[in-house]
């Protein structure tokens, strides 16, 4: 087993442990918060960036204002959903007298964390293959010899029918690149 595979497994295990510690409710709230945050931020970041250009520093840094706007909206939405998940979890804890309910919540959170980790790592690998610079070429050399990375990319490929059209187009562009390695 290569060092890159060990690193990938440790990261995936970390996602499982984090999901286990958070439980299903908070892990699900975090995932929903990120998804809704991205959707809302992608619709509103330009308006916030325009507002930020009133500040003298951002007057000449339009792209930076867009990046900061997107990240700020993402964090605010994720935080609001996170607080909602925390409140639901506290309400759920009242029912913890039911046998195995807390264990089921923890185990389901671990499984959801595991799934999230696999998907995020797969997306990260696909993105790494699309970026052309010396660091990504270096990483790509390791990823091409990995046993786990092709599985992660395959899982992302299997989920592609569920993705919005923009992501599908991006995936086709990435797959058409000469250095993109098709798993198996």
Range of the structural domain that residue 43 is part of: 3-176
Establish if 182 belongs to a structural domain.
no
C-alpha count within 13 angstroms, C-beta hemisphere, residue 174: 20
Establish if 20 belongs to a structural domain.
yes
Establish if 181 belongs to a structural domain.
no
How many domains does the chain divide into?
Answer: 1
User: For the chain, how big is the Rg over CA atoms in Å?
Assistant: 20
Establish if 37 belongs to a structural domain.
yes
Q: Contact at 8 Å (CB) between 146 and 179?
A: no
Distance CA 56, CA 58 (A): 6
Establish if 17 belongs to a structural domain.
yes
Query: Cβ–Cβ contacts within 10 Å for residue 12, how many?
Result: 20
What is the residue-level pLDDT of the chain in tens, covering all 184 positions?
A: 688 899 999 999 999 999 999 999 999 998 899 888 888 888 888 888 888 888 888 777 777 788 888 889 989 999 999 999 989 988 888 877 778 888 899 999 999 999 989 988 988 887 777 667 777 777 877 888 888 988 888 888 787 776 655 555 555 655 565 544 544 3
Establish if 183 belongs to a structural domain.
no
């Amino acid at each position: 087993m290569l060092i890159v595979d060990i690193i990938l497994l440790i990261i995936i295990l970390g996602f499982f442990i984090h999901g286990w510690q958070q439980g299903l409710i908070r892990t699900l709230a975090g995932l929903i918060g990120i998804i809704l945050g991205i959707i809302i931020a992608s619709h509103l970041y330009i308006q916030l960036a325009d507002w930020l250009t009133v500040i003298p520093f951002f007057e000449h840094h339009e792209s930076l204002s867009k990046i900061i706007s997107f990240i700020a909206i993402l964090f605010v939405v994720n935080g609001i959903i996170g607080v909602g998940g925390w409140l639901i979890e506290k309400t759920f804890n009242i029912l913890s007298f039911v046998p195995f309910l807390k264990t089921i919540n923890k185990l389901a959170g671990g499984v959801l964390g595991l799934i999230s980790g696999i998907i995020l790592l797969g997306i990260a690998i696909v993105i790494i293959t699309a970026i052309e610079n010396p660091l990504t070429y270096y990483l790509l050399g390791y990823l091409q010899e990995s046993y786990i990375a092709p599985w992660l990319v395959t899982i992302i490929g299997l989920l592609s029918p569920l993705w919005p059209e923009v992501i599908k187009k991006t995936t086709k562009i990435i797959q058409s690149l000469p250095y993109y390695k098709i798993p198996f």
